[in-house]
Amino acid sequence: MALFAAAALMSTAALAQKLNSAQVPQEVKTAFQKLYPAVSKVKWEKEKGNYEAEFEVNEIDHAVVLDAKGQVLETEEEITVNQLPSDVDAYVKSHYAGQSIKKADKITDSKGTVTYEAEIKHMDLIFDAHGKFIKEEKD
C-alpha cells in the first residue's frame, strides 16, 4: 500500500514512527474501528503525537489521522489523476516541465476543508479545492 502522510504533517513524514497495534492507545483504535468497522488490515504511524492509520477500502488507499483522544483530524483518499481539479495539471506542466503526476489524493480536514495532493518525482504538491497551488513538500 502506498505511503500516506497527512498534508499538515507531510514535512515531518521522514520522522514518522511506525507502530504495531499494541502501541496505539485503545481510545484511538476504538475510534478507528467505529469509523471503519469492516477494515481489518491497518498500518499505524505516529507523527507529532497523532496517530495515522493507513488502510484500503474497496482496493482504494485511505488514511485517517487521529489525535491521542481518537478525534479525527483529517482523512485522505487516493483518487485518479483525472479527478484532480483541472488547474492542477496546468500548474504542473507550467512549473515543473517534464514532470508528470504519479499519484493523487483528496484530503479532508476535520472542518470539511478539502485539499488535493499531487505527487511528482520526490515532491508532493498541495492545492486547494479549486486547484490553486498552496505549497510543495519534499519527500
Average pLDDT, the chain: 89
- Helices H / strands E in the chain, number of each: 2, 9
Domains of the chain plus CATH, in order, are: 17-79 (3.10.450.360), 82-139 (3.40.1420.30)
- pLDDT tens, residue by residue, 112-122: 999 999 999 98
**pTM (two decimals):** 0.82
pLDDT above 80 (res 85):
yes
- In angstroms, rounded to a whole number, what is the distance separating the alpha carbons of residues 122 and 119? 8
